[in-house]
Structure 1
């Protein structure tokens, strides 16, 4: 004989907590990835990253590395752990790194960064200068190739 219970004395959130832990925690371990926006402002490129709650001077680094603009840092969770274990967190914490390709002519002197109201703004002066299309003239006939070799006599 089997017993069927219509009401079980258990935690009503246990099933939800189990589902959350199984599916959401692996995503949460991926860390914090700030949203970015890149736009052209005349000849400059402007990169904006959403970094609310950070101390920009302490937690963020902006640098040019290998022809890329690299922004990295960390959003720290400084709260104490919730003791009843029933906290749902949608805010991600951890280290982040975003990189953006730059034209070869850009140097570190062309880059400025500011932080206001949770948004990091990086301006790359002259990033779009000289990037316009250049027409290459086409000539008729066979191109002449200069060579140091003399024809054999």
Structure 2
């Protein structure tokens, strides 16, 4: 005999989960869109950072085999309409990390910002290291 079990939905649990997700998103700031592509032997990372003051609020670093881009976005706008002030404030920190091959050094990394896009080029990231064959020895019995 088949039995059917009905579960009651808990509207408070659903609301609690919704509020938790909303605050978790706010706490983490924003996550800029990123694109990683290959240009010959170079890796090119592009991050969308419109409205960010890259000279003041963005750092690009090599940290233990990772390319790390972090910063903060601050944007505040105010507009007068019908004798009232409409103010919009957007802010949040971000942190993106990309694994790099062991042979990449800081001299291989360049970064430039243009029209809201940060482009980081890692020269030689795809250069293959030469393969070295290891001889296998056997022990005589």
What's the TM-score, normalizing by structure 2?
0.68
After TM superposition, give the deviation of residue 45 of structure 1 in Å.
0.1
Q: How far apart in 1 are the matches of 2:121 and 2:49?
A: 16
Superposition pairs of residues 1-153 of structure 1, within 5 angstroms? 22=19, 25-26=22-23, 27-79=25-77, 93-130=91-128, 143-145=136-138
RMSD: 3.5
Structure 1 unmatched ranges of 5 or more: 1-20
Structure 1 contact 44–126 (Cα < 8 Å) conserved: yes
- CA–CA distance in 2 between the matches of 1:55 and 1:92? 14
How far apart are residue 22 of structure 1 and its match? 4.5
Which protein shows a greater Rg? 1
> Are 1:32 and 1:92, in contact at CA under 8 Å, matched by a contact in 2?
no
More strand by share: 2
Q: Distance in 2 between matches of 1:92 and 1:23?
A: 20
Q: C-alpha distance in 1, partners of 2:21/2:64?
A: 35
Runs of 4+ with deviation above 6 angstroms:
none
Per-residue Cα deviation, 1:45-69 (whole angstroms, up to 9, x for no partner) = 0000000001111111001001000
Give the gaps of 5 or more residues in structure 2: 1-17, 79-83
Using the size of structure 1 for normalisation, the TM-score is 0.63
Q: Deviations over 1:21-74 (max 9, x none)?
A: 957742333311101000000000000000000111111100100100000000
Q: 1:104 to 1:24 in 2, by over 3 A?
A: closer
Counterpart CA distance in 1 for 2:137 and 2:32 is: 54
Q: State whether residues 113 and 121 of structure 1, in contact with CA within 8 Å, keep that contact through their aligned partners in structure 2.
A: yes
